[in-house]
Structure 1
Amino acid sequence: MSRVSRRTVVPLLLVLVVVAGIGLHLFQPWKAFTDTKVNEALPTASAPDVKDGAQTKGNTDMKGNAGMKGGEPPMTSTRPKGLAEGRFVTHEHDTSGTARAVRLADGGQVLRLEDLKTSEGPDVRVYLSARGGDAAKTGLGDGAVALGKLKGNLGNQNYTVPAGTDLSKFRSVVIWCERFSVSFGAADLAPVSA
């Protein structure tokens, strides 16, 4: 048996180290053993600010309380309005929880993930897809809207829906791994009845 020379071993070891480094960067195996919990409150929009009495002129109660007419609260509601919701189903990783689309009093839209449980992974993002949840398992489809990186794999979190986005054109919310082009899970969105 011939002896392996140092000239062969050193380059081979260097190649193995580089390959291992690339593998660790791509797969991030430690994420299989970690969790990131997020617990954000549902945002609320405040009523418009009153400046220089412009919005309350002639609209004060007998005690001079601005913004009140006859002691009644203003007509605007600051509570979010549910637009659509659905439950997550598992695709490549166990995923559960609820996705809710809500409109805030100021007209902004937010996608809220509640009681989310999924796996951590490299470069995981939240998308709105025109495809149904089952079809999203094989891809997001044309016109998918990215809402941002997944803030955590556990808990409650909010994602701002870009202004001008017509939520009625989207059928599902997808937890998508960009690096490997796989869906962790998806939730079909169904309109919320008033």
Structure 2
Amino acid sequence: MLIVATLVLGAGLYAFQPWKLWQNETVNEALPTASAAPGPASSSTAAGTTAPPSPSGPQTLAQGALISHEHSTTGTVKLIRLPDGSRTLRFENLDTSNGPDLRVWLTDAPVKEGKEGWDVFDDGKYVSLGKLKGNRGDQNYEVPADVNLADYTSITIWCDRFNVSFGAAALQAA
């Protein structure tokens, strides 16, 4: 009987990892820099006019404020295009609970407040950008080149183990 109780307790601790609720992992990454391909500052068009140079810095394509779902979650999220054309999803001032198996997803689901928002994100289309690096701070996630951003309207910090959103943000064009 003691062996069974120990196994059940061990399995429960592994599944829930309750100690993570008291452990914070802060990640403070700078916005990635990518150099634009060298080339002329401007180019001639067929009509003989000069086209403006491409932007020299990062461009915010969309952004949103995080709302809480299963756990209190605050901060902002931005989709950023770097000068080389690559795209990054960036959390700024993120603050949420730590948990087991947290992922960052781009989704096509609407962001709903409260319990109604917990389970909507795995019902439709989503792309996992990887494991959440930390539950606090500023962090970056590369968006694969083949992802059509027009197909995705929100992000979620998703607990894969329990199929629940810790927090989410609707993305609005910048």
TM bracket (short chain): 0.7 to 0.9
Tell me how far apart the structure 1 counterparts of residues 101 and 28 of structure 2 sit (CA, whole Å): 20
Residue in 2 that maps onto 1:109: 87
Residue in 2 that maps onto 1:147: 129
Give how far 1:78 is off. 3.5
Residue in 2 that maps onto 1:13: 2
Q: Which among 90, 111, 126 is matched to residue 133 of structure 1? A: 111
Q: Gaps (5+ residues) in structure 1?
A: 1-11, 50-54, 60-74
Deviations 1:125-154 (A, max 9, x none): 000110111165223132200000000000
**TM-score scaled by length of structure 1:** 0.78
Is the Cα contact below 8 Å between 1:113 and 1:158 reproduced in 2?
yes
Q: Which among 161, 164, 170 is matched to residue 182 of structure 1? A: 164
1:40 aligns with 2:22: no
Is the Cα contact below 8 Å between 2:69 and 2:117 reproduced in 1?
no
Give how far 1:165 is off. 1.1
Tell me how far apart the structure 1 counterparts of residues 91 and 57 of structure 2 sit (CA, whole Å): 18
Tell me how far apart the structure 2 counterparts of residues 81 and 136 of structure 1 sit (CA, whole Å): 29
Tell me the C-alpha RMSD between the 2 structures: 1.8
Residue in 2 that maps onto 1:86: 64
Is the Cα contact below 8 Å between 1:127 and 1:173 reproduced in 2?
yes
Q: Which among 134, 144, 151 is matched to residue 169 of structure 1? A: 151
Tell me how far apart the structure 1 counterparts of residues 56 and 142 of structure 2 sit (CA, whole Å): 17
Give every structure 1 segment of 4 or more consecutive aligned residues whose post-TM-superposition deviation is greater than 6 Å. Answer: none
Letter in 2 for 1:176: W
Is the Cα contact below 8 Å between 1:45 and 1:105 reproduced in 2?
yes
Tell me how far apart the structure 1 counterparts of residues 98 and 137 of structure 2 sit (CA, whole Å): 13
Letter in 2 for 1:138: D
2:118 match: secondary structure: helix
Letter in 1 for 2:100: P
Is the Cα contact below 8 Å between 2:64 and 2:172 reproduced in 1?
yes
> Larger C-alpha radius of gyration, 1 or 2?
1
Letter in 2 for 1:152: G
Residue in 2 that maps onto 1:118: 96
Identity rate, percent: 48
Deviations 1:33-86 (A, max 9, x none): 11000000001211336xxxxx68xx9xxxxxxxxxxxxxxx454411110000
Equivalent pairs counted in the alignment come to 160
Deviations 1:67-120 (A, max 9, x none): xxxxxxxx4544111100000000000000001001111111100000000000
1:138 match: secondary structure: coil
Tell me how far apart the structure 1 counterparts of residues 90 and 70 of structure 2 sit (CA, whole Å): 22
Which protein has greater RCO, CA pairs closer than 8 Å, 6+ apart? 2
Is the Cα contact below 8 Å between 1:129 and 1:136 reproduced in 2?
no
